[in-house]
Amino acid sequence: MNPIDSIAKDLLDALPNPILVKDSDTRYVWVNRVFEALFSVRSAGLVGRLDLDVFPYRQVVQCNGGDLRVLETGQLDEATEVVTDPVRGERHMITRKIRVTGTDGEHFLLGVMHDITDVTVANQRLSYASATLEAQAAQLRLHAETDSLTGCLNRRALFADAPARIAANPARVTVLALDLDHFKRVNDLRGHAAGDAALKHFVTCVRPILRESDVLARIGGEEFAVLLVGVDPTTAETIAERICAKVRSTPLIFEGVPIWMTVSIGVKHASAAADETIDDVLRQADSALYRAKGDGRDRVVSAC
């Protein structure tokens, strides 16, 4: 028995929401005009038929969920579905289904659909815009913290990162101050392009020697700094010697011609008792670096 009288049908037909009614076997009893338009069907052609008799399997699986549960338990079911409107294309819908009881005690399923496409599209656009802004912000942070030529951290990023590392492990932090020897000659004799290539080449020599936890930064011109965490003084000096040896033995091939380079390194191991800052440690590493330069370059000197 159809539980909907003519007045109710007229009322439901006037609503802007697609509405459906099914019997206790989930066979169609009636749908309103908006439902007919959305799915290109006629109510008379649906009566007594199951979803699988009318709609594609994929759509049935998506849209038919919860029908039996609602009929058996009387609990409301609400689900998001995607349907295809023949005129407007893909539409995002929320379908709310409830159980209603006819005058003879028979249960029916009443479903009301609400089009949320505009909201969904707006949310998708908002999510895309948010992701784009986040990516742009990350890119800006990267530019703010990275040396554009070598890809190392810059001085600002080093000084922002180092205090926390030193505070967390003050007795096992070492700073290396590095300076490429006679770098001005490279620029003067081979041009600035060669100088830029030399700086990038130097970084490619150093990175494989460092651990992932170590920090390499370009702090100006041909000057670099390395922050080593969790190493003792002997290990730190060994790392510095390996860097010297690697740079010394690995020429840059620029325009088919080798450019041989060396590096001088000053080493300063932080002191837990002295409560040293990154400025203090780097200043002392610099002093050791200048002694390395004065002693003939291409060497490692440790601060006292």
What residues have CB less than 8 Å from 152, skipping those under 6 apart?
146, 203, 216, 217, 218, 224
Q: Name the token pair of 154.
A: 């810059």
Q: Which of 36, 212, 222, 223 is catalytic?
A: 222
On whether the CB atoms of residues 208 and 293 are closer than 8 A, the answer is no
The one-letter amino acid at 74: G
Residue reference for tokens 């986040």 = 134
On whether the CB atoms of residues 83 and 93 are closer than 8 A, the answer is yes
* Spatial CA neighbour of 272 closest among 192, 166, 134: 166
On whether the CB atoms of residues 238 and 273 are closer than 8 A, the answer is no
User: Does 222 participate in catalysis according to the annotation?
Assistant: yes
Give me the active site residues, please.
Answer: 222
